[in-house]
Amino acid sequence: MSSIFDLFRKIESKPADPSPVEWLIVGLGNPGAKYEGTRHNAGFLAIDRLADSLGARIQAAKYNALCADVRIGGVRALLMKPQTFMNLSGEAVRAAADFYKLPPERVLVLCDDVNFDPGVMRIRRKGSAGGQKGVNNIIEQLGSDSFPRIKLGVGRKPHPEMDMADFVLGRLSDADLHTMDSVFQNVISAVTLILDGKIDDAMTKYSK
């Protein structure tokens, strides 16, 4: 009878995936328990749900991020949660993109958006940061805004005078999280389409 140690040896000796990483999928947020469940961490929440759907855990530390090497619809991708804090997210993205020699068009970013209500998702092929500082830093680090992104509505400030930082670092309510659950499911489907080269289909079906 094989011992548990034999099983561990078989797992450890499992050959690495020989195919190259073709995509980076980056969820934006701030690391640490202090920021869990905040509006600014919607990207972290979405990519965690994506990882769960794939049976993966985003825990390998590299490129100044927590990562998981996965396959989505036959495409090898690296899931990333930058640990640089939001405003420097591009540093982790650039390090991974440089290592795998990936152009900006192969970097898919999941992030919060304060222009839309919870439960709303927008997919964009490229474009400006729209005030999202993590996206802005990725544009600066990659020298391009030509990367697709999935923007997740987290609601608008309750009044114009409220400080934006206070708003995005506030926690999502249980009701908002419940509303966003269906969006997280759509993210999984949209990512699969985008990696399959069908971003127009993803935009038509899931940008609402």
Residues catalogued as catalytic: 40
Instruction: Compute φ and ψ for 62, nearest 5 degrees.
Output: -160, 160
**Radius of gyration of the chain from Cα atoms?**
17
In this structure, what token pair is assigned to residue 92?
């982790």
Give the 3-state secondary structure of residue 194. Answer: helix
Q: How far is Cα of residue 181 from the mean position of the Cα atoms in its chain?
A: 15
Could you tell me if 46 and 150 are in contact, meaning their C-beta atoms sit under 8 angstroms apart?
Answer: yes
In this structure, what token pair is assigned to residue 82?
């930058």
Could you tell me if 112 and 43 are in contact, meaning their C-beta atoms sit under 8 angstroms apart?
Answer: yes
Calculated CA dihedral for residues 166, 172, 176, 180, nearest 10 degrees: 110
DSSP H/E element including 60: strand 60-62
Residues forming a β-bridge with 69: 78
Cα–Cα distances (Å) from 12 to 7, 15, 62, 66, in that order, read 9, 8, 19, 20
